[in-house]
Homo-oligomer: A and B are copies of this chain.
Amino acid sequence: MFKQLGRCQLRRTSTVLSLLLVWTVMATSCKEESSPATRFGLVIHGGAGTITKEKMTEEMEAAYREALTGALILGHQTLAKGGSAVKTVELVIRRLEDSPLFNAAKGAVFTSTGTNELDASIMDGKTLNAGAVAAVKHIKNPITAARLVMEESPHVLLIGDGAEEFAREHDVEFVAPEYFYTDRRWKSYVKRKEKEVKRAAASTDEETGREVDGDEKYGTVGVAALDGSGNLAAGTSTGGTTFKRFGRVGDSPIIGAGTYADNRTCAVSGTGTGEYFIRFAIAHHISALMAYEGKSVQEACDIVIHEKLTGLGGDGGVIAIDWQGNIAFSFNTDGMYRGHVKGDGVAVVKIYGD
């Protein structure tokens, strides 16, 4: 009897304990879900353009998915450990810059003179502080130089040799120009050069730089992040456009055009025909639509991309995350390498226009 009672009691106690445990886990989980500490997240892009399933090999798609997933996991780990949004943006962009797949740093396209000119920018949504470098040629990770401009100088934008001099003073890693050589980008350059030679022979006086091939047009990388303290940051890094004019600067290092972050609204990074992004102040425009017209982050991105940009004939896309952790993508191209991850750690990667 005692034993039986004992067993019954034990069973009941065990059931109660189990229920209590489930409840506690659920309660903790619910609490965490609604606490700022797990409302963090990040969204990334690896460029937008004529990216279609037909043009993609299985190997290439797998490589892109792996690279984007790896970047998202790194970003999630950084944020989960309490890393700031600025730190996360820098680390994740460094990872993408080190990959030969993207048109940024290691995988940068070649200019019309066969060199690589790199641009990057970063912005801190808490302080509205920002840093950028343009037309640097020997810096392994331009995003790190941009962050140093933001944090270690009173400036926002440093260009060319002046930017490299500053980076050297701050012990940024330098590489020989050959580091930026990849077969794929060089082939694009050679192909484009042949076209230009033919065009010159045909005596057309069309400005070089108008036409580029496939998805190499917009391989720019970008990250926007919200950290556990509610701070936003965004960053962008690029090699520009294939066969771009020596000295041409697109939107990526331009705060307000390719990159913007403001804790009161959102963090944005863009990729596309940089000139249009500058003319519309695309990234700041999205922030302004949220601040002054009460648009959601997705609505603001859609208005700027599908109305403003498309209306004027520009193409490309943006990624954004708002101060509440809502994530938005918008692009008017066939595809955009992109992904996001929130506090739950589920990394979502997409490539095509689905």
| Alpha-carbon gap, A279 to B163, bound state (A) | 19
The residues of B that contact A288 with a CB separation of less than 8 Å are 284-285, 288-289, 292
**Which chain B positions have C-beta within 8 A of A292?**
288-289, 292-293
Complex Cα gap A247–B289 (Å)? 33
Identify which of B128, B247, B279 contacts A158 (C-beta below 8 A). B247
- Please tell me if the beta carbons of B210 and A165 are within 8 angstroms of each other in the complex: no
Q: How many residues of A contact B (CB 8 A)?
A: 47
What are the residues of chain B within 8 A of A128 when measuring CB–CB? 279-280, 312
Cβ of A293: which chain B residues have Cβ within 8 Å of it? Answer: 292-293
- Give per-residue flags for A156-171: 1 if the beta carbon is below 8 A from chain B beta carbons, else 0: 1111111101100000
Q: In the bound complex, do residue A159 and residue B210 qualify as a contact, i.e. CB atoms below 8 Å apart? A: no
For A283, the closest partner residue in chain B by CB is B281
Interface residues of A in 275-323 (CB under 8 A from B): 275, 278-281, 284-285, 288-289, 292-293, 312
Q: Are A260 and B281 in contact (CB under 8 A)?
A: yes
A278 near B209 (CB under 8 angstroms)?
no
Contact of A278 among B248, B256, B279 (CB under 8 A): B256
| Residue of A129, A156, A284 with highest tally of chain B CB at under 10 A | A156
| CB-contacts of A121-145 with B (<8 A) | 123, 128-130, 134-135
Q: Is A225 an interface residue when CB atoms closer than 8 A count as contact?
A: no
Do B162 and A159 touch across chains, with their CB atoms under 8 A apart?
no
In the complex, the chain B residue whose C-beta lies closest to that of A257 is B256
Residues of A220-272 at the interface with B, using a CB-CB cut-off of 8 Å, are: 245-250, 254-257, 260
Question: Is A207 in the interface zone, CB < 8 Å from B?
Answer: yes
A29 at the interface (CB under 8 A from B): no
Q: Distance in Å from the Cβ of A266 to the closest Cβ of chain B? A: 14
What is the minimal beta-carbon distance from A251 to any residue of chain B, in angstroms? 8
A155 CB contact (under 8 Å) in B166, B209, B285: B209
- Chain A residues with CB under 8 Å of chain B are 123, 128-130, 134-135, 152-163, 165-166, 207, 209-210, 245-250, 254-257, 260, 274-275, 278-281, 284-285, 288-289, 292-293, 312
Can you list 6 A-B pairs with a CB-CB distance of less than 8 A? A135-B159, A135-B162, A157-B249, A157-B250, A162-B245, A256-B278
- Given A156-B274, A157-B249, 15 further pairs, Cβ under 8 A: A134-B159, A152-B207, A153-B245, A156-B279, A157-B250, A162-B245, A165-B246, A166-B247, A254-B255, A255-B281, A281-B284, A284-B284, A284-B288, A292-B292, A293-B293
